[in-house]
Structure 1
Amino acid sequence: MDQALEANLLISSLHSPARLVDRLTGAANRTCYDWYLRYLDILEKRKVKPGSLISAKDQLRAAMRTWGDRTLESITVLDVADLLKTWTEAGKERMASMVRSRLVDYFREAIAAGWIHHNPAEATKVHGVRTKRQRLTKEMFLAILAQAEQDKQRTWAASAFKLALISGQRREDVASMAPEDVRDSHLHVIQEKTGMMLRLPLTLKIDLLPQTLGEVIEECLAGNIPNPQTFIHARKIALRTQPGQTLRPALITRAFADARDRAGFGNDANPATFHEIRSLSSRLYEATHGKGFAQRLLGHKSANTTDLYLDARGAEWVTIHHKEQ
């Protein structure tokens, strides 16, 4: 796609001679597509995952087709707003929101490099974006956990849910946690998505569970399986999976959804998924240890990102104390 796009832009440029002022200032050599190529290099230097790099290209594809041969500084708020209409008018507000976020970052990096002086994407808005997933409450989690504890086929499921709650980590990280990661009385986690390196004390405890992190890990390893690859592993032969082998993250997601449905919480238009355990974890830790602790545990560099997880979206009651002023 990139080569075809580059060829089309070259053809277009033959019919779009640069203004004299742009040639004199050098802006003619700073087109949107020129910056697009540099922006991809920046993303690679950030060490983003291959899937995230593919998503970035997809999110910028329409912009490059529309503006590729234009100078970067010529793009206006109206240009961005008109581009976003491509999706909003088709009822794809979520996609429009993702494209807008990508463009904000695209232009922000250009400002940092001195190519432009303002960010035309920041002033735009995408209306009509609705929260998709139902938030997970404490009561819901306990009911889902009770269902998982009765699952005779997936005897690892309840332990996986508890490990996710007490550690506050993502599905992929929970699935890859292994005995070799425990040393110096800490569980060492390198987040797959961000590369963030965390050391979680085995004494870590969350109010909703009676166990510490170390005790949950012991529960994961209590199946008498020799040399398990990870904490969450197959306990018996199933679908070519041998006892002790690592389970695919998708299986953990499926186990949660099944337990959720059996607990009666699957009828919402957008029911809670396994990922909502991470939000519940952050809210519980924020209540007992503060927002800063929750941010460090989740591995967020930005407090704004943590705020998204701490937002209960109206799913929890707010208690008013008599002594509040």
Structure 2
Amino acid sequence: MSRLLSATLGRIMPRYRTFADWLVIYRQIIEARPLQPKTLANRYSSLRYLSEAFAPRTISAIRPHEIAQLLRTLHQQFPHLARRVLIEARDVFQEAVAYGWIHSNPAAAVRHQRTQVARRRLTLDEWRQIHAWSQAHQPPWVPHMITLALVSAQRRGDLQKMAWGDVREGHLHVIQQKTGTLLRLPLELRLNVIGLSLGEAIEACRDYTTPGETLLRKSTGKPLVAPSLSARFEEAREGALGKHTGSGLPPSLHECRSLAERLYRKQGVDTRILLGHKRQSMTDTYNDDRGLSDGEWKTLEL
């Protein structure tokens, strides 16, 4: 029926065309936006779930409760994915409103199910134990990676691609993979609680194995793949701390970034710039230790 409407009435009234017809135009719209390749790939990934659910449907016949049902199904296993799909749904239908294909946005009234924070933050003492275990039991690049993750406060993908050519003019130059943000981190940046500067952490990566273009590399000098960084951190965490038995998920490599934010903020470093965020509110979410400091005395510094 949808195909018949699309082939007949759809020729003169877009609201009778299918969601698949609209996606042809919508993909052109988002491709014209100034999005980073990784962001665009993530958008397409979210769009795929909407396409699988509604592609053959007449676009004006799609109802809010149908979108909500799709999101409930996703939320059961992938709550964060469900949130991204809802954001995409709101945009794809809002653009359809703007282009005159439909009169109202069916995703606008849909609400995301609240997700309780599942991953626990990392403490400095735990980081030290993980780093020490890694030094004793893992390939040399792993403890260097764990150090760089804390001292630089950068994401996994940025750690993976840090190269010697990025170290120049007294700074480490980082083009953040996720957002495209351009950062110049001074090599003098020092994390006082571990007594190490960014420059010293980088220099320690020079001679631990066969020379290569990247700071972190295999014994052959070849670059690493991103999943290896996460897997090795998890191995070191379990080796140092044992199997996680508490509530929620155990700290991941990304939690080094939150720990770095909390430690550097105490030193007075502008962590919004360090983390590459546009808004302070995003940085503040990293500063939340999710209950680790509950019950501790807070000292007012004069």
What is residue 84 of structure 1 aligned with on the other side? 71
Q: Judge which range, 197-206 or 101-110, deviates more.
A: 101-110
What is residue 168 of structure 1 aligned with on the other side? 153
C-alpha spacing 1:92/1:11, structure 2 compared with 1 (3 Å): farther
1:310 aligns with 2:287: yes
CA contact (8 A) 1:137 1:316 kept: no
Identity of aligned residues (%): 35
C-alpha spacing 1:29/1:305, structure 2 compared with 1 (3 Å): farther
Q: Which AA in structure 2 matches 1:230?
A: T
1:149 aligns with 2:135: yes
Q: Which AA in structure 2 matches 1:55?
A: S
Flag the structure with more relative contact order, 1 or 2, with Cα contacts below 8 A and sequence separation at least 6. 2
Once superposed, what is the RMSD of the aligned Cα atoms?
Answer: 3.4
Q: Judge which range, 266-275 or 315-324, deviates more.
A: 315-324
C-alpha spacing 1:223/1:59, structure 2 compared with 1 (3 Å): same
CA contact (8 A) 1:93 1:128 kept: no
CA contact (8 A) 1:93 1:129 kept: no
C-alpha spacing 1:28/1:134, structure 2 compared with 1 (3 Å): same
Equivalent of 1:99 in 81, 85, 96:
85
Give, in whole Å, the separation in 2 of the partners of 1:43 and 1:303. Answer: 27
Using the size of structure 2 for normalisation, the TM-score is: 0.80
Structure 1 unaligned spans of 5+: 1-7, 237-241
C-alpha spacing 1:123/1:302, structure 2 compared with 1 (3 Å): farther
What is residue 272 of structure 1 aligned with on the other side? 251
Q: Which AA in structure 1 matches 2:213?
A: Q
Matches within 5 A, 1:118-129: 120-127=106-113, 129=115
Q: Which AA in structure 1 matches 2:55?
A: R
C-alpha spacing 1:122/1:212, structure 2 compared with 1 (3 Å): farther
CA contact (8 A) 1:202 1:213 kept: yes
Equivalent of 1:60 in 50, 61, 67:
50
Q: Secondary structure at the match of 1:99?
A: helix
CA contact (8 A) 1:48 1:194 kept: no
What is residue 251 of structure 1 aligned with on the other side? 228
Give, in whole Å, the separation in 2 of the partners of 1:252 and 1:10. Answer: 48
C-alpha spacing 1:47/1:127, structure 2 compared with 1 (3 Å): closer
Q: Judge which range, 185-194 or 304-313, deviates more.
A: 304-313
Equivalent of 2:178 in 181, 193, 196:
193
Q: Which AA in structure 2 matches 1:58?
A: R
CA contact (8 A) 1:97 1:129 kept: no
Give, in whole Å, the separation in 1 of the partners of 2:271 and 2:264. Answer: 6
C-alpha spacing 1:173/1:318, structure 2 compared with 1 (3 Å): farther
CA contact (8 A) 1:93 1:127 kept: no
Give, in whole Å, the separation in 2 of the partners of 1:97 and 1:189. Answer: 29
1:276-298 per-residue CA deviation (whole Å, 9 max, x = no partner) reads 212222232334336xx323222
What is residue 207 of structure 2 aligned with on the other side? 222
Structure 2 unaligned spans of 5+: none
Using the size of structure 1 for normalisation, the TM-score is: 0.75
